[in-house]
Amino acid sequence: MPIDLPIWPPAWPAIEAAALATIRSGDWGSYRSAACQRLRSELAEAFAAEHARLCCSGTAAVELALRAAGVGPGDEVILAAYDYPGNFRCVELLGARPVLVDLAPESPTLAPDHLPEAASENVKAVIASHLFGQAADVARIRHHCDQRGWIFVEDACQTPGMLIDGRPAGSFGHLATLSFGGSKPLTAGSGGALLTSDRRMAARLGPLLERPSDAFPLGPLQAAVVSPQLKRLDRMNEQRRDTARFLAAELSGQTPQWQLLARDSAGVAPAFYKLAWCARSAEQRVRVVERASELGLPIGPGFRSSHRASRRRCRQPLPLERSRRLGDTLFVLDQTALLVAEPQRRELAALLQQLHDETSRLDDEISP
């Protein structure tokens, strides 16, 4: 029996009501939309930012953040080899050169220790993403950036509502990015936002966005449907977090061939968009993803690692061993599974156990 997953995007009456109100008031057809203004101030408040700007995607938000940081031809931008692949592309598109560093131990996020070795006089900015519910070490990354005059772009596209030492993820970078993409915890099908409390960055975003029409707009209807999700974000995050913790406890010691990437870090209230494991091998991951689909589990491979990009395209001052391994073996359980009703959590754990056992047995036969 396949497990009963909640539908995504959510079909809440509050979302329908917000869309309808935007249509009935005529706000849907306005350049100066009240829904957009409202979402901007709600985001600024929720993310403890002086300024929130809306845009058409998380990817555009990263690109605009780099533009505001002044990144252009001849500059370098440091990021982890294992990251949302669009971030590498954004750096290249601006004519700048990615400088790849590896991941912190037991984490899918950038290793701050590697920043000094990646430094050069051409480095302008650092991008670090919070991934799979795990917080990047933003305090240390920000410290390195401040020491060297680099701009820190904090990619919080996956983790709206995560708290780090009591502060929202997205409030540590000079600029931070959010995504409202179709699968994300806050969704409008597509969309994104930029957050900053840095006057200089806010001033540079203005002319990039207002030309004089909004060049990367999030429309009023889209803005309207994000607002009710923002109101329920904490509760939804709690639900996803509870399921992640339940699975971690229930499967602890039971899935020896998988490594769960959900370490509890002091001071972090994680927000899971996807829950990640590493399989024992790339071959095992292929089997896990295939079998998961037969079992009705929403599991897919993680990101590709950029460590294979040619040295002409990027600088690689350090070994990228962890990025390579995560690129080969990481797989993710989607948030729809993390949002299952509480009584179904046990069933979900049992299915994951079955998935582990079946794909492990095969693995043992192939490479004893």
Ligand X SMILES: *Cc1c(COP(=O)(O)O)cnc(C)c1O
Q: Which residues bind ligand X (CB under 6 A)?
A: 57-59, 62, 84, 86, 129, 155, 157-158, 179, 181, 192
Point out the residue whose Cβ comes nearest to ligand X. Answer: 58
If the CB atoms of residues 55 and 96 are measured against ligand X, the closer one turns out to be: 55
Alpha-carbon span 298 to 57, nearest angstrom: 24
Q: CB of 154: closest distance to ligand X in angstroms? A: 10
User: Residue 226's closest CA among 69, 38, 49, 365?
Assistant: 38
Neighbours of 253 (CB within 10 A): 5
Q: CB of 354: closest distance to ligand X in angstroms? A: 28
If the CB atoms of residues 183 and 353 are measured against ligand X, the closer one turns out to be: 183
Neighbours of 333 (CB within 10 A): 24
If the CB atoms of residues 86 and 168 are measured against ligand X, the closer one turns out to be: 86
Q: CB of 34: closest distance to ligand X in angstroms? A: 23
Q: CB of 207: closest distance to ligand X in angstroms? A: 22
If the CB atoms of residues 327 and 363 are measured against ligand X, the closer one turns out to be: 327
If the CB atoms of residues 64 and 340 are measured against ligand X, the closer one turns out to be: 64
Q: CB of 188: closest distance to ligand X in angstroms? A: 9
Q: Locate tokens 């797989």: which residue?
A: 331
Alpha-carbon span 241 to 338, nearest angstrom: 8
Q: CB of 328: closest distance to ligand X in angstroms? A: 19
Name the token pair of 284: 């095992």
Neighbours of 256 (CB within 10 A): 9
Count H helices and E strands in the chain, helices first: 13, 14
Pairing, β 175-179 against β 192-196: antiparallel
Alpha-carbon span 365 to 335, nearest angstrom: 32
If the CB atoms of residues 192 and 219 are measured against ligand X, the closer one turns out to be: 192
